[in-house]
Structure 1
């Protein structure tokens, strides 16, 4: 779950827009890390199996599967309704991904509804979509080049 999504991304990525879309994927990673740290700290869920021995949480879903899935959604059919894409992203992540992780004992839901995860993931996708559409992605120039 940690390597395969990134290999898929490298093969399928749009090379012209990969920096813009990758930046949105990094934003998803940061948001998921923050939300996950908060959830684990408040005892809403836990990770019974450590993917990396020094880690207390599972990296693969948050740092690979979720951001790569979001980046692929951002890349394909870019003019398709982002709210529908966000609902698909949130629905698959919350109602398919998390139960699968629970099933294989990589994640344990304690005091949390999957519907909360649906709303969080949907919002994360919408923020990443907004971020990926900013016009501020231009070539970096020296101050002398601007005069």
Structure 2
């Protein structure tokens, strides 16, 4: 069953508006964002944590941690993308103007911090670590990003992020402890 013709016409108008908005965003980004101090800070926030992780992570856990990090990247990017698209928050200094979420946050800071938390003091109660991770990200990192002008919550409160970040850590911890990782290492 095909959608009615009016639906396709209306959807074509929406896509045309989206393309115009993206073109305008590109022009504004080129004029006011690229090569600014905020943009360079985003570049460093994207690269430096991974370099530190490469040097300081437990080498025997590399595959397991990269799996966990990739999982966190996918979920956090999706949730961030959704939040931006729903108008819950926005970012002012995109590293890449075609990605609505904040790349350094989703693809570096959150996954590297989760991997760090999993590897440091591995015998510590995961719920305690999850609560600490949720608190640091929701009540320290988000307000800091807001304070320096990278992020602006529109219809969002930092407290809403706390259970999300706490749950993300618990899921990542669960994934990192799966038996199949040990079987792969022992082969």
Provide TM-score, normalisation by structure 1. 0.90
Q: 2:80, 2:102 within 8 Å by CA — same for their partners in 1? A: no
Q: Which has the larger radius of gyration?
A: 2
Which 5+ residue runs of structure 2 have no aligned equivalent?
1-44
Q: Given the alignment of the two structures, is residue 129 of structure 1 paired with residue 173 of structure 2, yes or no?
A: yes
Q: Which residue of 2 aligns with 1:2?
A: 46
Q: Which residue of 2 aligns with 1:27?
A: 71
Query: Could you tell which deviates more after superposition, 121-130 or 45-54?
Result: 45-54
Which 5+ residue runs of structure 1 have no aligned equivalent?
141-147
How many residues were matched structurally?
Answer: 140
SS of residue in 1 equivalent to 2:60: coil
Provide TM-score, normalisation by structure 2. 0.71
Indicate which of 56, 60, 65 corresponds to 2:100: 56
CA distance in 1, matches of 2:69, 2:99: 22
Q: Any residues of structure 2 matched to 1:40-119 within 5 Å, and which?
A: 40-119=84-163
Task: Tell me by how many angstroms 1:12 deviates.
Answer: 0.7
SS of residue in 2 equivalent to 1:51: coil
Which has a greater percent of helix?
2
Task: Tell me by how many angstroms 1:139 deviates.
Answer: 3.0
